[in-house]
Amino acid sequence: MDFKDKTICVFGGTGTIGSLIVEYLVTQKPYSIRIFCNVENELHECKQKWGVDEPYRYLLGDIRDYRRVKRALKGVDYVFNAAAIKHVPEAEYNPIEAVNTNIIGLDNIIEGCVIHEIEKLLHISTDKAVEPTTLMGATKMISERLLQMRWAQNPEIKMVIVRLGNVYGSRGSVIQVIREQKEKGQSITVTNPDMHRFFMMPSEVTEFIMKAFNGNGEGEIWVPKLEESNLMDVLRKEVGKDYPITIIGNRKGEKLHEKLLTDYERSISLISINEWVIPNIGW
């Protein structure tokens, strides 16, 4: 996909994944990148980091506010949605907020894309959407099916989903937490030594998102092929084998093993060397 001279809106553009998208897009010489975020301080920090000259535009707003979303999308060619409530405990304790952001917020974006006849929308999902046991995972599962349904109603707008694993070292992630604990000289806290997760390096995330963006855009879900990692092995590489670790127990609804696909999705996926592509099956 050619981004040169295009206007692009990145919802959640100050977060880990949103920032990766912005930093790639700026190398492609777009006309404008609209960085949309609901946290004033994060926008301010990004201004300090990236500057205020072209192509950057900084938009304060919330995807739960349809009027603000619709205004932000006027004149836009392409849209990336990386905005979400992503932390499991916060979603469990604030379920309506998770629903309003992860489901209603996405629907607002889709509706804005339809109104303004946007060319293409890419939505970021997570492996926690597969057979979810937490509210956050459930909202992301619904968001995937919502986008597929809305594409079926509006096939003139290209839409695609990317289902990612954990971004290694991302803000608020377990890797960031243990690095901060080590820096403070604290014992590293681990929920369960048998915990396994799928990790992706930031450069892999950017490459995969852009590959998916170049796909058909028919409501399909792109899923990277990843090797599952034991969390204890990962942590030991970060802090050393002799560093003290405290086991604190599983959080509510937390799985020992995540999945990238359901059994049914695996049976219908288009398979290549590096990814699965799940076609829109008309939920």
By annotation, the residues acting in catalysis are 128
SS3 of residue 130 by DSSP = coil
SS3 of residue 86 by DSSP = coil
Cα–Cα dist 84/68, whole Å = 17
**In which residue are the tokens 């849209």 written?**
79
Give first-to-last CA distance, the chain, whole Å. 28
DSSP state of 184: T
**In which residue are the tokens 């003290």 written?**
244
Q: Is the peptide bond before 193 cis (omega within 30 degrees of 0)?
A: no
User: 181 with 188: CB under 8 angstroms?
Assistant: yes
DSSP 34-81: EEEES-HHHHHHHHHHH-SSTTEEEEE--TT-HHHHHHHTTT-SEEEE
104 Cβ contact list (under 8 Å, min separation 6): 64
Cα–Cα dist 37/54, whole Å = 18
Residue type for 103, please?
Answer: I
